Amino acid sequence: MRGLRRWWDDSAGGLPATFWYLWSGLLINRAGAFAMLFLSLYLTAARGASPALAGLVVGAYGAGGAAGTLLGGVLADRWGRRATLLAAHLGAAGLMVALAFSRHLLVIAVLAALVGVVHSMPSPAFVAAIVDVVPEDRRARAFNLQFWAFNLGMAVASLLAGVLAEASFLALFLVDAGTTLAAAAVLALKVPETLDRRIRVPATTGRRPGLHTALTDRVFLVFVGLTFLLAVLTMQTSTIMPLAMRDDGLRPSAYGMVVALGGALIVAGQLFVPRLIAPYRKATVLSVSTGLMALGFGVLAVADELPLYLGAAVVWTVGQMLAAPPNAQINADLAPPELRARYQSVFYLTFPAASFVAPALGGLSLEHLGERHWLVVGALGLVAAAGHLLAGPSRERRVDTLRAAVAGREKALAGKR
């Protein structure tokens, strides 16, 4: 019993109630966000769209997501985290209902782009709110739990989507809208506004701090670039690996087993990660984790049977699990308090960018290089691993500077009270 209590304290103990309501809203949001997983199938099977047209509509959803990420960051710093989360969730629910009853393909395309916007808006606000309410020494736990909830929710969404799509596409969209409203209800009833407008870090230039601050912050952008390389590696599992497995004569069910194994490992083991990595510097953990991902994908250069694919999946999934908490925490630590959500929005742009680059360049690489493609992917991972070691000291100096500035402002505010 004491061992179980110690494990709970190490993985999730001591976090404020507001975090758990945010966490619950995120879990409900992810578990219910399943309609867009079947958008291309819905368009071709129920609306008579060609595969090419369906691809364009899905692309509109992705483009809307990129815009929504930036918009969500700006609004979360201006309106507040709670207002942005509620606006995004309510908007998503309404748009899902509109999609359920829309028949014209042009209308569906416009609605899909708008859904992309509102689906991406909450990400910066969720993370900024977590940073607002969770003390710094417990943020690694919080971000670890956030990553776990995201993956658990996506696993549930994938299962529910398949069942609902076979029963009724109308039900697929309406149930999605219902779960989105449920998440909005949790946020509306239990999550207060977490943005503290009193604390400001002075601008180091004559310009007013804004989105451009994040886009010109060299230390932060180096970190974003390294995260982009990590995201390109991660995207291999859903873009290029299925093609490689098909070329090796493996059935789609084999690909499903590899993906399911990764998800099962994350759900079963992610809560043990904070205690494992706590003694080490974040840069070291990120270097090791990215190196493991490089090794896992590099092994695919000689993989042609399912057991080797499964073994490689274990290696790169462990790398992903180790990377998630420090990656999120560094991103939070590098952001000035009044720009937390804007910094998050720039950070989250790495994922739609990687989702474009990974299949576009990866397909060409696989076609021309064959199995040597995986050696290129492994080399990219090693570059990112080395980059984290080299960039770690400058990140740590920046974080110390920001902490000192915030502490000075808090002391000045306390003196005025």
Q: What is the Cβ-side half-sphere exposure of residue 401, based on CA atoms within 13 angstroms?
A: 13
Q: Is residue 6 part of a domain?
A: no
- Predicted confidence at residue 85, as pLDDT, reads 95
Location of structure tokens 């975090």: 19
Residue 150 belongs to a domain: no
Q: How many domains are there within the chain?
A: 2
The answer to whether the beta carbons of residues 344 and 73 sit under 8 Å apart is yes
Q: Are residues 312 and 177 in the same domain?
A: no
- State the Cα angle at 150 between 144 and 152, rounded to 5°: 100
Q: What is the pLDDT of residue 214?
A: 86
365 within domain boundaries: yes
The per-residue DSSP string of 223-286 comes to HHHHHHHHHHHHHHHHHTHHHHHHHTT--HHHHHHHHHHHHHHHHHHGGGHHHHHTTS-HHHHH
* DSSP-derived secondary structure letter, 207: S
Of the pLDDT bands very low, low, confident and very high (cuts 50, 70, 90), residue 260 is: confident
Are 105 and 21 within one domain?
Answer: yes
Q: Which has more pLDDT, 294 or 408?
A: 294
Locus of tokens 């404020």: 16
40/116 same-domain check: yes
Residue 198 placed within a domain: no
Does residue 271 form part of some domain? yes
Same domain, 174 and 285: no
Q: Which residues of 11-45 are buried (b: 16+ CB within 10 A; e: fewer)?
A: bbeebeebbebbbbbbbbbbbbbbbbbbbbebbee
pLDDT at 206: 47
Taken in order 60, 155, 226, 136, the sign of the CA dihedral is positive
Buried b (16+ CB within 10 A) or exposed e, 202-240: eeeeeeebebebbeebeebebbbebbbbbbbbbbbbebb
Q: What angle do CA 311, 315, 319 make, to 5 degrees?
A: 160
| 326-357 tens-digit pLDDT | 888 888 888 888 888 889 889 888 887 887 77
**176 lies in the same domain as 242:** no
Out of 125-129, 156-160, 255-259, least confident range = 156-160
- In this prediction, residue 320 has a pLDDT band, given cuts at 50, 70 and 90, of very high
Residues of the domain holding 62? 16-137+168-190
> Per-residue pLDDT averaged across 225-239, rounded?
86
Residue 364 lies in a domain: yes
Is residue 278 located within the same domain as residue 385?
yes
Q: Helix or strand or coil: residue 80?
A: coil
Same domain, yes or no: 131 and 234:
no
What average pLDDT does the segment 88-101 reach? Answer: 94
Q: What global pTM score does this model have?
A: 0.78
What's the CA gap between 142 and 134, in Å, rounded?
A: 7
Written as one letter, the residue type at 109 is: A
Q: How many angstroms separate the CA atoms of 49 and 42, rounded?
A: 9
Residue holding tokens 């000689």?
302
Residues 250 and 173 in one domain: no
Does the residue 8 lie in any domain? no
Residue 200 near residue 338, CB atoms below 8 Å: yes
What residues contact 283, with CB distance under 8 A and at least 6 apart? 388, 389, 391, 392, 393, 395, 396
State the pLDDT at residue 4.
45
**For residue 102, what are the contacts with CB-CB under 8 A and spacing of at least 6?**
108, 111
Residue 32 has pLDDT above 80, yes or no: no
The CA distance from 225 to 259, in Å, is 26
- Using one digit for the tens of pLDDT, what is the confidence trace for 269-293? 888 888 888 889 999 999 999 999 9
User: Most confidently modeled of 108-117, 254-263, 406-415?
Assistant: 108-117
Average pLDDT of the segment spanning 150-175: 77
Give the C-alpha separation, 71 to 120, whole Å.
Answer: 9
Tokens of 210: 């804004």
pLDDT at 332: 84
297/338 Cα distance (integer angstroms): 39
Average pLDDT over residues 26-34: 79
Q: Tokens 């009853």 map to which residue? A: 101
202: in domain: no
What would the pLDDT profile of 38-74 be if each residue is shown by its tens digit?
777 788 878 888 877 887 887 788 788 888 998 999 9
CA distance 214 to 218: 9
Residue written as token pair 């250069």: 301
Sign of the C-alpha dihedral computed for residues 160, 164, 169 and 174 taken in this order: negative
Q: Do residues 225 and 367 both lie within one domain?
A: yes
Could you give the C-alpha distances from 124 to 15, 28, 175, 354, in angstroms and in order? 20, 17, 25, 18
201's CB contacts (< 8 A; 6+ apart) are 209, 336, 337, 338, 402, 405, 406, 409
Q: For 346-390, how does the pLDDT look when each residue is reduced to its tens digit (9 = 90+)?
A: 988 888 788 777 777 777 887 788 888 899 999 999 999 999 999
112 and 241 together in one domain: no
Task: Verify that 272 and 215 share a domain, yes or no.
Answer: yes
> Distance between the two ends of the chain, CA-based, in angstroms?
46
Residues 351 and 223 in one domain: yes
Here the CATH number for the domain that contains residue 339 is 1.20.1250.20
